[in-house]
Amino acid sequence: MVASCCLTLAVINLLVWVRNRREWANLLFSITALSMTVFTFFELWMLRAGTPAAFTIAIRWAHVPLLVWIASLAWFVRIYLDAGRLWLVWSVCILRTLSLVPNFLTGTNLNYQQITSVHRVPFLGELISIPVGIPNPWMIVGQVSTLLLIVFIADASVTVWRRGDRRKALLGGSIEFFLVLGLGQAMLLFWLNVQLPIIYSIPALGMLAVMAYGLSDDVLRASQLVDQLQLSEAELRESTNRMTLAAEATNLGIWIRYLRRDEIWANETCRGLFGFSVAEHLDIDGILRRIHSEDREAVREGWARAIDRDGDYESEFRVVPADGQMRWLASRGRVEYEGGVAVLSRGVLFDITDRKQAEHETDRLQIEIAHVGRVSMMGQLASALAHEINQPLGAILRNAEAAEIFLQDPSPDLIEVRAILADIRKDDQRAGQVIDRMRGMLKRNKLDTQPVEVTELVSDVVAMVRADALARQSRLEIDVPNSLPRVCGDRVQLQQVLLNLILNGLDSLQGTSRDDRLVRLSARLDETQTVEITVSDSGQGIPTEKLQRVFDPFFTTKTKGMGMGLPISRNIIEAHSGRLWAEDNRGGGAIFRFTLPVAERSVAV
């Protein structure tokens, strides 16, 4: 009965181990149970043995399964409790193995030098055999090994108890209890010849039961864990689904870059945006190859900077997939570090082609509107500019005519003729400059942002507007220090703003007496490292309630005005990260001011 119990447990645990090869405890338990099964048969043999000779052989061979049993028990405890001193385990095993030597070579077996007689006593309604004989002193080796086993298990149980795992400590304690019981019985029987039946299998079975309980409890817990795991797995799947759904709905690409092995994982959308197939291997070079050559370096630098510095990564770039259609993509991510070393970066990718196109369209419209504004202003200036060009042209003509007359002389004054030619060249350049300036204003330019000298900006505009101011019998006063730093901007557009403000100023002077007609232009560097340019006039001024409205499109106080000059100017200045506003001049007239960022500083950032 004991044997069948043991065998069942052995088979069960063997199966457990077979299904999960890492559960060594189950294998060892199985071995323990198996060896106990074999031992039980020897025990039965002994109980039934009628002669000392038969008993002797039974005991001798019973030591073999005993060895296996003790060794496997020791290792089971070591592995299952994950505690105890390893050298004790080895000592137990070695001593027990050594005990087989005297078992087979000295006396009759390890326990007896000689079995003198066999008593037949009734036990539980049956006659069983109990040996009587001279104890074998070598028996001590086996018993020391059992003692060491007890010590080892006690030590392991205490360790486990201290670790806080009461359940396993109790399990160790229980094994200990049955072990002590077995050893005590053996001592009484073999050393003192106390008439006890050899039934180690009973405490051993208890021990097995305890062990089986421990293991099955584990199985129970494991199954509970599996349930929980399944639950959280379901949750995880749900959240992954949700994220995938969200990512798909927003067409969001998700990527992870493993920095140690230069490998990139990307979801389907992400791959699609770059034009990669689902199975294709992704690495950084492959990705960079798909990025537009003009953006490639910036993207590479962005990544390097994110890894070296702040960990955050953000960039916008163009991608040219193999199928050709160029797209604008934006990528945002964060680098993750382990012990100060960047291990991976993780982020999202999305298509911003539409936004970029809209931006592009807005830029184009802004340029277009600014151009229309310039053309209309140049129209106003046309007559003054014709005058401006006729001046040098007239000078050239008169000089040429004078030279002709000089050359009719038999001995012409060549010095004078040379001076005339130099003047002609100078005037030609002057006329050319007027035309260049005019053409610059009429061209449909792309935005060209560069450091611009404020004094040059002002003098160019003044050159364009001077003749007009003259024709309107108005004075222009310029106060721009040479020491001003350069500003950052598009020269033509900034000229346009200045020109617009000056022309507005001149327009406002109509109806003022001649001596008071003044437009003043000044510039200064303010505390916030921006250049502030002011255009003030002595005209009628702007009522306070209209100071804002003058920047509304189509708002105009002029009979011929379109009402687009100021909104365009404000648009231009804001595109230059500056501000344009109007003030009422307390001394009469209006003041317009605008700010521009200093170029040197913006280069440094």
Partner 1 sequence: MNGTRPIVHVIDDDTSFLAAISRLLRASGFEVKTFSSATEFLAKRKVDDAGCVVADLQMAGMNGLELQSALAQAVNPLPMLFLTGHGDVPSSVRAMRGGAEDFLEKRAPKEQLVDAVRRCLARAASERQSRTEAHHLRARFDALSERELEVLSHVVQGRLNKQIADDLRIHERTVKLHRTSITTKLGVSSVAELTRVTLQAGVFPPFK
Please give the helix or strand (H or E) that residue 561 lies within, else none: none
Give the 3-state secondary structure of residue 385: helix
Dist CA 215 CA 226 (whole Å): 16
Minimum separation from the CB atom of position 469 to partner 1 (A):
9
Residue 175 burial class via C-beta count within 10 angstroms: exposed 0-12, middle 13-18, buried 19 and up: buried
Minimum separation from the CB atom of position 440 to partner 1 (A):
22
Q: List residues bridging with 479 in a β-sheet.
A: 522
Q: Which is nearer to partner 1, 236 or 397 (CB)?
A: 397
Q: What is the token pair recorded at 252? A: 């969001």
Dist CA 296 CA 162 (whole Å): 60
Minimum separation from the CB atom of position 479 to partner 1 (A):
18
Q: Which is nearer to partner 1, 299 or 420 (CB)?
A: 420
Contact 175, 210 (CB under 8 A): yes
Dist CA 116 CA 133 (whole Å): 5
Q: Which is nearer to partner 1, 390 or 445 (CB)?
A: 390
Give the sheet arrangement for strand 312-319, strand by strand.
263-266, 253-258, 341-351, 327-338, 312-319
Q: Which is nearer to partner 1, 224 or 383 (CB)?
A: 383
Comparing C-alpha atoms, which of 74, 26, 21 is closest to residue 218? 26
Minimum separation from the CB atom of position 477 to partner 1 (A):
12
Contact 326, 290 (CB under 8 A): no
Dist CA 564 CA 555 (whole Å): 8
Q: Which is nearer to partner 1, 232 or 473 (CB)?
A: 473
Contact 156, 77 (CB under 8 A): yes
Contact 519, 572 (CB under 8 A): no
Q: Which amino acid is at 313?
A: Y
Minimum separation from the CB atom of position 446 to partner 1 (A):
33
Q: Which is nearer to partner 1, 476 or 533 (CB)?
A: 476
Minimum separation from the CB atom of position 470 to partner 1 (A):
5
Q: Which is nearer to partner 1, 7 or 402 (CB)?
A: 402
Binding site for partner 1 (CB under 8 A): 383, 386-388, 390-399, 401-402, 405-406, 416, 420, 423, 426-427, 430, 467, 470-471, 473
CA atoms within 13 A on the CB side of 574: 11
Minimum separation from the CB atom of position 560 to partner 1 (A):
18
Q: Which is nearer to partner 1, 117 or 473 (CB)?
A: 473
Residue 160: what are its φ and ψ, rounded to 5°?
Answer: -65, -40
Minimum separation from the CB atom of position 408 to partner 1 (A):
9
Contact 309, 224 (CB under 8 A): no
Minimum separation from the CB atom of position 476 to partner 1 (A):
10
Q: Which residues contact 441 (CB under 8 A, 6 or more apart)?
A: 374, 375, 377, 378, 464, 492, 495, 496, 499
Comparing C-alpha atoms, which of 411, 20, 347 is closest to residue 215? 20
HEC string of 87-149?
Answer: HHHHHHHHHHHHCHHHHHHCCCCCCEEEEEEEEEEEECCEEEEEEEEEECCCHHHHHHHHHHH
Dist CA 56 CA 52 (whole Å): 6
Q: Which is nearer to partner 1, 235 or 416 (CB)?
A: 416
Q: Which is nearer to partner 1, 263 or 423 (CB)?
A: 423
Residue 591: what are its φ and ψ, rounded to 5°?
Answer: -125, 130
Minimum separation from the CB atom of position 429 to partner 1 (A):
11
Dist CA 110 CA 60 (whole Å): 7
Q: Which is nearer to partner 1, 248 or 404 (CB)?
A: 404
Q: Which is nearer to partner 1, 231 or 400 (CB)?
A: 400
Contact 176, 157 (CB under 8 A): yes
Comparing C-alpha atoms, which of 224, 219, 180, 223 is closest to residue 25? 219
Q: Which is nearer to partner 1, 394 or 553 (CB)?
A: 394
Q: What is the Cα 523 distance to its own chain's centre?
A: 47
Q: Which is nearer to partner 1, 125 or 410 (CB)?
A: 410
